[in-house]
Structure 1
Amino acid sequence: GITSPITPRIIYKHSLQLKTNVADLWWTTNEVEKEIIFELHINTTGWIALGISPAGGMNGADLGVGWIDQSGNIHFQDRYAFDTVIPILDNTTSDWFALQGCEQNGWTAIQFKRLFDTCDIMDVSIKSGTNNLIYAYGLIDPDTDITYHETRRGSRTLSLRSYNDPPLESKFTQLDYFDVRLNNYIIPPSDTIYVCKIYKTPSNYSSKRHVIANQFLIESINQDFIHHILLYECNSITRFDDSNLFEGVCDGSVSLIQLCSINIAIAWAVGGDYMIEYPEEAGYSIGGDLDVKYYMIQIHFNNPNQISNITDSSGIRFYISNQLRQYDIGYLTFGTDIRSTSLAIPPNVQNFIVDSYCPRNATTNIPQSGITVISAFPHAHLQGRSISTKIIRNKKVVQYLFNGDPFNFDYQLTYRLTEPIQLYFGDEFATRCVYNTMNKTHITLGGETVHNEMCLHIFAYYPRMNT
């Protein structure tokens, strides 16, 4: 949560703790005026800075730098970093504008704004999709120029224009819920292990209900071991022995697992939010006469030191609404297969591009009235740098469905789209994943370990199509 002792100047749409007891950020975007208002609080009485970076570092970063002097006056500068050196003053136009600021209880708070796109060669556009955000601070106000920040810096990858603030758990405490989770499962001492558990829809949901929010139950002592959690829908014609539902290493029952690897319903990965809420008009349907009766949770544990005797009960909590919503939510997945034969990325390459295509004949089940896409979840491993999907309609590129450039392995969020996007019968889709293997000496193949690679782009939409 937020730790700054200073009350923000206005009510903002979004807020984020950049680092506990160090830095907090608030912001509001205006898609009509094409501008964004920030308020940055940092635990220092020196200078503070916030920037947009092409690659997550100083090189090429566009920054707003400010401080409050001893008389209470605000000083604010537009700066640009040509390299990993002190950023220079922008000598073209000044496009970061201070609004208000103060110092209080050892913290500095400055409110400022800028346009999404300034058309300045020394600025970085704040585009729809993902953005690399950087921050830094010094311990004293500048006399002539800002001092080197040393280790007082940080970065985050997020979507400033479509950030989905995670709701508080307390919002749903009065609702019914059920959990899909492991039960003190002993994790094998292996570098990479996939654990699967099959669940049946609880019998008390005899009529259709809507899930309106999910909470990812990650045990804090094990959070460094968990790479991702996926919930799959099992094949609707499949029936299991309810008294002996599978739980164990996924490879231990390939035939069963294949029956439950059809549709990905819910996804979480490293750096993701622990609470996700659906829009008011839609929910994920369970129970009643629905075809899907069984689900499979898959948890990817990454244990490079092969530590023994780890037990885990992580999983997903489903909050159930008392009233049905207008639409059922479904999921689309684009990208490549995860087998080793699907990806082969050479070493020592700055930008290796993998393109995949979803043709017109694969989208003929989209109704004539269309479907509405509401969120995106891009997923790759350590070498991934960018994941994007474009809509192609009548042989022309219409727009990005979502542009996950940059992609950061440590911050794999579910992104609510700035505005919902309509898809129609016969639309086609082009997905591109870009990888950097400059730190590799051998070919990187597709696969499940973090040292292999993936190219997946998962979208939530409504109304759910018949598949």
Structure 2
Amino acid sequence: MKRRVLVLLGLLLAVVAFSGCTSYSSETTSPTTSIQESPKELGEWKADGIIDEKEYAHELSLAGGKLIVYWRNDDEYLYMALKGQTTGWVAIGFEPTQSMKDADMIFGWVKDGEVTVLDLYSTGTYGPHPPDENLGGTNDILEYAGKEESGYTIIEFKRKLNTGDQYDKAFVRGQTIKFIFAMADDDEFTLKHNVARGSGELVLD
């Protein structure tokens, strides 16, 4: 009888322990919540801060819908949009090795109608993430635009799959790309994310 009680107690403790592992804080979310399949035909991509119905092949909803990542690609270029439920900055970091370290990062925000999009690289586990140019690299954002409206910030940008810059990740068609993301309610990109953060994966066509 005593042994049976101990076994039941052990099982109960195990259930409680594993239940704790499945929860996430308000800042960290599960990687993916929804993916939209590629439509048969895509429209023209424009860097204008407006996400048209057929402008992107895929979309991924993160952080309970607080951030949506849109993307498409061809043989040479990656086209992407970030739509965040914030009036501050939104950011994505490609292929980190540990936490933020070695992430190829894009930060963007809109302030007083002026759009800023930065090509950055995280040199440490928790930053800093200076511009590529400060490290001897290059700014490889070829086109960008943004819009802030009704509590949302949209950033669109275009870059080569392989920029040739050592501080940018080189991508190929069909690749699965791991990424981290973050958002803040301020337009100062040196401030810590305080709206949402997490990780996910996307697959190139």
Conserved? CA contact 2:143–2:159, under 8 Å: no
Determine the structure 2 residue equivalent to 1:67.
109
Where do 4+ consecutive residues of structure 1 move more than 6 Å? none
Larger strand proportion of the pair: 1
Matches within 5 A, 1:347-386: none
Counterpart of 1:136 in structure 2 is: 182
2:120 match: 79
The question of 1:109 aligning with 2:154 is answered yes
Deviation at 1:56, TM superposition (A): 6.3
Mapping of residues 213-362 of structure 1, within 5 Å: none
Distance, in Å, in 2 between the alignment partners of 1:15 and 1:101 is 17
Unaligned runs of 5+ in 1: 163-467
Is the Cα–Cα contact under 8 Å of residues 52 and 126 in structure 1 kept in the other structure?
A: no
Q: Give secondary structure in 2 for the equivalent of 1:20.
A: helix
> Shift of residue 87 of structure 1?
0.8
Q: How far has the Cα of 1:103 moved from its partner?
A: 0.7
> Residue type matched to 1:78 in 2?
D
Shift of 1:98: 4.3
**Quick one: percent identity of the two aligned structures?**
29
Shift of 1:150: 5.0
For 2:60 and 2:82, how far apart are their aligned partners in 1?
Answer: 10
Measure the CA separation in 1 of the matches of 2:98 and 2:62. Answer: 14
Q: Do structure 1's residue 149 and structure 2's residue 193 form an aligned pair?
A: yes
- For 2:129 and 2:100, locate their aligned partners in 1 and report how far apart those are by CA, in whole Å: 8
- What SS does the aligned partner of 2:145 have? strand
- Identify the residue that residue 11 of structure 1 maps to in structure 2: 55
Residue 41 in 1 paired to residue 97 in 2? Answer: no
Retained in 1: the 8 A contact 2:163–2:170? yes
Could you say what secondary structure the match of 1:88 adopts? Answer: coil
Q: Paired residue for 1:270?
A: none
Task: For residue 157 of structure 1, report the CA deviation from its aligned partner.
Answer: 2.3
Shift of the alpha carbon at 1:65? 0.7
- Match of 1:139, as an amino acid? D
1:121 aligns with 2:166: yes
Amino acid aligned to 2:65: N
Residue matched to 1:52: 94
- The gaps in structure 2 that reach 5 residues or longer are 1-33, 36-48
DSSP-derived class of the 2:108 partner: strand
How far the C-alpha of 1:14 sits from its partner, in A, is 1.1
- The residue number in structure 2 matching 1:25 is 69
AA paired with 1:77? L
Structure of greater relative contact order (alpha carbons < 8 Å, 6+ residues apart): 2
The yes-or-no answer on 1:95 pairing with 2:140 is yes
**TM-score when scaled to structure 1?**
0.31
Q: Distance in 1 between matches of 2:50 and 2:160?
A: 25
Name which of structure 1's ranges 110-119 and 128-137 shifts more when overlaid on structure 2.
128-137
Superposed CA RMSD: 2.2
TM-score, scaled relative to structure 2: 0.68
Q: Which has the larger radius of gyration?
A: 1
Task: State the Cα deviation string for residues 32-58 of structure 1 (Å, max 9, x = none).
Answer: xx1110011011100111121243631
- For residues 315-354 of structure 1, what are the alpha-carbon distances to aligned partners after superposition, in whole Å with 9 as ceiling and x for unaligned? xxxxxxxxxxxxxxxxxxxxxxxxxxxxxxxxxxxxxxxx
Q: 1:85 deviation in Å?
A: 1.6
2:183–2:195 contact (8 Å) kept in structure 1: no
CA distance, structure 2, for counterparts of residue 107 and residue 98 of structure 1 = 21
Deviation at 1:26, TM superposition (A): 1.1
Q: SS of 2:65's equivalent? A: coil
**Pairs aligned (count):** 153
Residues 151, 86 of structure 1: alpha-carbon distance in 2 compared, 3 angstrom cutoff: farther
